[in-house]
Chains A and B, each alone.
Chain A
Amino acid sequence: MIVLLGVLVVVLGFATRRNPLLVVGVAGIATGLLGGLSPDDILRTFGEGFASSRSVTIFAVTLPVIGLLERNGLQQQARTLVTRLGKLTTGRFLALYLLLRQLTAAVGLQTIGGPAQSVRPMVAPMAEAAAERANGGRPLPERLREKVRSHSAAADTVGVFFGEDCFLAIGSILLITGFVNATYHTHLEPLSLAVWAIPSAVCAFVIHGGRLLYLDRALERELITVNAEIAVQTPGDNSPRRIAGGTE
């Protein structure tokens, strides 16, 4: 039972946001000692574990070509592609982005998107612009703008999570094969795992895409309510401004 304290070390370490490498190192050593391994055994297990899980890290070999393409405008071209989908409602636009994100992640291009690369500069502004168009060109109320932005980030995250595992060279797939092959002395191929990520990817698209389409209706309803409130308040709202204008 006492070896479970090793799991506790991991939980506490991640929960208090310590450096993950140190958490892993300390948890490994602590668990080994609690499990009755000698320091020598622990070192050997670290070494053997590393040697048999090297395939997890080999995606680094794809970095030169991705770097070469990025310095030649890969992200900018991806942006151009998305911009061509411009004349859409918020929900349809985000659902399309979700699909695009899933498909590109599924062929290993998960670095094309992301909160910094695509959501902030491109996806969120476009989703907001579409919602403002639906609002007759008026700016969105604060709460709805937050909602549209949150959904922009969510579409990106859901898309990459449930797209990338269909690609066989992604860290999580290689982690599974590395861990299982080393621990249980078996042989699993990354490809056979990637294939099993497809059903969940389809479910993710149907569920999240459906929710995004529903977002259009929710936005429409809320905009009607908000605009009705503004219409009621308008005389009161306008009068101070007129007074202010009059004193000029």
Chain B
Amino acid sequence: MIKSEWFFWLVGAVFIVMALQMMRDTSNPKRFTSAAFWGLLGACFLYSTGVTQKSVPAEPLGLAVLALICLGGFNLVGRGEPKTTSEKERSALAARFGNKLFIPALTIPVVAMVCAVLVKKVSIGGRPVLEPGSETILGLGIGAIVAVGVGMWVLRERRVSVPVHAGRGLLEAMGWALLLPQLLSVLGTIFQAAGVGTQVRTLTESVLPDGQKFAAVALYCIGMAMFTVIMGNAFAAFPVMTAAIGWPVLISQMHGNPPAVLAIGMLAGFCGTLVTPMAANFNLVPAALLELKDQYGPIKAQAPTAVALLACNVCILYLFAF
């Protein structure tokens, strides 16, 4: 049986290998702290296996996470000059390979889907091939590995080091931001443990008349959007609003379909992202890149769509999730 933990080890190992490469990359002014960040992250991936199996204590891992926060938070993670192709070379390569370039990229979702839908049902000697419950995640991992193979074959690339280097370039370009979604998820867990969700629920219950499904749905979606406008990030709003209304009221009390409630709730948050200057990378950066005089130009272009889509999300959730 292929287990999801094996895949987490692979990801951890990739981080560690890339960290070792970074340590030797003299073009990176922060090479040692960068290597420490990615190496520690890789080690955390490996150590986590023990934590989920309760064979090792979780406290050292918590300490390591705080160390990662400090390394990233105090701007100690940098990037080197990646050795890659020039714009001109890329155009020539694009002309040579044409639409074949899309084949490896499309391999990932295709393999992931096949694993999630078909391989899920296959078992050898009575044991399933893929660990039950982790089929999609394993599909993604298998898809990524297959795609590297397909890509190297399509592009006539013999050296495995080339995709590893290219991947490290992207990793360095993303920097600590890569870790943010996971940390927001961790924050959600802490909020839950400290009772934030219960408190917001008490607040909402005093606002919300009992059993009013439409009001509850609207409050969840609009709350997601409003929180996102304030924080500039739907990922940060999600754990709070879900612990407050999404899970206890819409799912537990009113028996909503969990995937529908949660997926649409997140999309309602995205409507908020469209209209907030707090989401600088989506709204202010394009205005700067396009040399607009009105830095709110993109927000103005997006606002009517955001309002209409928020209404759509409320309706979809109300009509189809229960």
Number of residues of chain A lying within 8 A (CB) of chain B: 121
Over the window 125-163 of chain A, the binary record of Cβ atoms lying under 8 Å from chain B Cβ atoms (1 yes, 0 no) is: 000000000000000001000110111111011100110
Complex-state Cα separation, A43 to B293, whole angstroms: 47
Indicate which residue in B140, B181, B308 contacts A56 across the interface (CB closer than 8 Å).
Answer: B181
Are the CB atoms of B274 and A65 closer together than 8 Å? no
Known A48-B189, A54-B48, A183-B188; contact A21-B72, beta-carbon cutoff 8 A: yes
B208 contacts chain A at the CB level, 8 A cutoff:
no
Contacts of B165 in A (CB 8 A): 67
Are the CB atoms of A22 and B140 closer together than 8 Å? no
Expressed in whole angstroms, the minimum distance between the Cβ of A175 and any Cβ of chain B is: 5
Interface residue ranges of B62-95 to A (CB < 8 Å):
62-66, 68-70, 72-75, 84-85, 87, 90-95
A37 contacts chain B at the CB level, 8 A cutoff:
yes
Expressed in whole angstroms, the minimum distance between the Cβ of B106 and any Cβ of chain A is: 6
Are the CB atoms of A57 and B179 closer together than 8 Å? yes
Are the CB atoms of B101 and A72 closer together than 8 Å? yes
Expressed in whole angstroms, the minimum distance between the Cβ of B195 and any Cβ of chain A is: 5
Contacts of B145 in A (CB 8 A): 61
Expressed in whole angstroms, the minimum distance between the Cβ of B55 and any Cβ of chain A is: 12
Question: Which chain B residue has the least Cβ–Cβ distance from A50?
Answer: B65
B144 contacts chain A at the CB level, 8 A cutoff:
yes
Over the window 290-304 of chain B, the binary record of Cβ atoms lying under 8 Å from chain A Cβ atoms (1 yes, 0 no) is: 101110011011101
Complex-state Cα separation, A37 to B196, whole angstroms: 13
Over the window 218-236 of chain B, the binary record of Cβ atoms lying under 8 Å from chain A Cβ atoms (1 yes, 0 no) is: 0000000000001111111
Question: Which chain B residue has the least Cβ–Cβ distance from A114?
Answer: B286
B266 contacts chain A at the CB level, 8 A cutoff:
yes
Indicate which residue in A50, A68, A158, A193 contacts B62 across the interface (CB closer than 8 Å).
Answer: A50
A168 contacts chain B at the CB level, 8 A cutoff:
yes
Complex-state Cα separation, A48 to B167, whole angstroms: 28
Complex-state Cα separation, A60 to B87, whole angstroms: 24
Complex-state Cα separation, A43 to B189, whole angstroms: 12
Are the CB atoms of B247 and A158 closer together than 8 Å? no
Known A115-B286, A175-B235, A200-B313; contact A46-B186, beta-carbon cutoff 8 A: yes
Over the window 158-180 of chain A, the binary record of Cβ atoms lying under 8 Å from chain B Cβ atoms (1 yes, 0 no) is: 10011001011101111110111
Are the CB atoms of A4 and B196 closer together than 8 Å? yes
Interface residue ranges of A178-218 to B (CB < 8 Å):
178-180, 182-184, 186-197, 199-200, 203-204, 207-208, 211
Are the CB atoms of B140 and A61 closer together than 8 Å? yes
Contacts of A225 in B (CB 8 A): none
Contacts of A165 in B (CB 8 A): 263, 266-267, 270
Interface residue ranges of B276-297 to A (CB < 8 Å):
278, 280, 282-283, 285-287, 289-290, 292-294, 297
A1 contacts chain B at the CB level, 8 A cutoff:
yes
Complex-state Cα separation, A46 to B58, whole angstroms: 8
Are the CB atoms of A68 and B152 closer together than 8 Å? yes
Expressed in whole angstroms, the minimum distance between the Cβ of B178 and any Cβ of chain A is: 6
B105 contacts chain A at the CB level, 8 A cutoff:
yes
Contacts of A27 in B (CB 8 A): 187
Interface residue ranges of B132-183 to A (CB < 8 Å):
133, 135-137, 140-141, 143-145, 147-148, 151-152, 155, 157, 162-171, 176-183
Are the CB atoms of B62 and A4 closer together than 8 Å? no
Contacts of A35 in B (CB 8 A): 193-196
B259 contacts chain A at the CB level, 8 A cutoff:
yes
Are the CB atoms of B167 and A21 closer together than 8 Å? no
Are the CB atoms of B91 and A73 closer together than 8 Å? yes
Interface segment, one of A75-83, A85-93, A230-238: A75-83
Q: Can you list 23 A-B pairs with a CB-CB distance of less than 8 A?
A: A7-B191, A14-B230, A21-B176, A35-B194, A47-B57, A47-B60, A50-B65, A52-B52, A56-B181, A64-B14, A64-B166, A67-B170, A68-B162, A68-B167, A69-B155, A70-B170, A71-B85, A74-B94, A74-B105, A107-B106, A183-B189, A196-B264, A204-B309
The 5 closest A-B pairs by CB, nearest first: A35-B194, A67-B166, A73-B94, A64-B167, A47-B61
